[in-house]
Amino acid sequence: MPYTISFLLASCMILLVQCQSDKCSIGMDSTLEDVKWKTLHSNCTQEVKDQIKMEYSAAMTYLSLGLYFSSDLINRPGFAKFFFESASEERQHAIKLIEYLSMRGESVTDIAELVKVNPETMHYNNPATKELDGKGALKLALEKEVSVTTNILKVMRACEAEKAEEEARLSNDYHLVDWLTADFLEEQYKGQRDIAGKLSTLLKMGSSNYHLGEFLFDKKMLSNEA
């Protein structure tokens, strides 16, 4: 037995010496900096962070609209439900993007900066102004979604940059672009179609008496029939 222990200790010493001569950092000196595993280009990371800001901005706009329609002065519970749910979805999109960056080794430490939202995007919180009816709010949401979709395409272009050959090679991030195409764009286009369909139905229902049409449409929104 003493011979076995001595043999094991000697083997470990040899392994350590070999590791030191090859700059191997197994053991107490272990460090990840020696291993180049983070391949997301800095341009690409910045574009993803801008997209996170947009998702939070959309979330706050929808939260603001949800509050507006749920007030006693406006009282459209169907619209309120739709916008509160939309706000949650946008927040989830932002979290998915943060998780993606984390998976690629890009820790998000500037979260306060990312969630900072322009107050203009959430000023629909004063029901007394009655500045929006249902169709105005749906048009606003459709425009918001189109701008979010446009920005996703911008992220994809930045991550497939047509620059100098070497830089382009570094920037072509096939995985991120594929993930954005499959997960995000699919949901964006479906979301845009959903809002456009709702708007179309609302306009038809309110073609002769808009207020009555909006009241009935709101009931359909509440029961997920619109």
- Contacts of residue 122, Cβ cutoff 8 Å, sequence gap at least 6: 60, 61, 63, 64
Q: Is 93 annotated among the ligand-binding residues?
A: yes
Nearer to Fe ion, 147 or 209 (CB): 147
Structural tokens at position 224: 């997920």
Looking at beta carbons only, is 183 or 225 nearer to Fe ion? 183
Query: Considering the complex, what minimum distance in angstroms separates the CB of residue 148 from Fe ion?
Result: 5
Give the alpha-carbon dihedral of 128, 85, 49, 109, to 10 degrees.
Answer: 90
Nearer to Fe ion, 198 or 218 (CB): 198
Count of positions (residues) in the chain: 226
Distances (CA, A) of 13 to 2, 9, 152, 183: 17, 6, 53, 50
Report whether 46 belongs to an annotated binding site.
Answer: no
Encoded tokens for 142: 């459709």
Instruction: Pick the closer one to Fe ion by CB: 43 or 88.
Output: 88
Restricting to residues 22-41, name those near Fe ion by CB under 5 A.
none
CB-wise, 13 or 111, nearer to Fe ion?
111
Q: Is 90 labelled a binding residue?
A: yes
* Residue 144 interacts with Fe ion (CB under 5 A): yes or no: no
Separation of alpha carbons 97 and 147, rounded Å: 17
Size of the site for Fe ion (CB under 5 A): 3
Task: Work out how close the CB of 58 gets to Fe ion at its nearest, in angstroms, rounded to a whole number.
Answer: 6
Of residues 55 and 218, the one with the C-beta less far from Fe ion: 55
160: which residues sit within 8 A by CB, 6+ positions away?
Answer: 171, 172, 173, 177
Between CA 212 and CA 222, with CA 123 as vertex, the angle to 5 degrees is 35
SS3 61: helix
For residues 131 and 124, the answer to whether their CB atoms sit within 8 Å is yes
Q: What is the closest distance, in whole angstroms, from the C-beta atom of residue 201 to Fe ion in the complex?
A: 23
CA distance 16 to 14: 5
We find the least distance from the C-beta atom of residue 115 to Fe ion, in angstroms, to be 14
Alpha-carbon distance of 78 to 101, in angstroms, equals 35
CB of 85 to Fe ion, least distance (A): 13
Q: Residues 44 to 63: which contact Fe ion by CB under 5 A?
A: 55
**Is 123 among the annotated ligand-binding positions?**
no
Q: Hey, which residues between 81 and 120 contact Fe ion (CB under 5 A)?
A: 90, 93
166 is in an annotated binding site: no
Task: Tell me which residues touch Fe ion (CB under 5 A).
Answer: 55, 90, 93
Bind-site residues: 55, 90, 93, 145, 188
Bind-site residues for Fe cation: 55, 90, 93, 145, 188
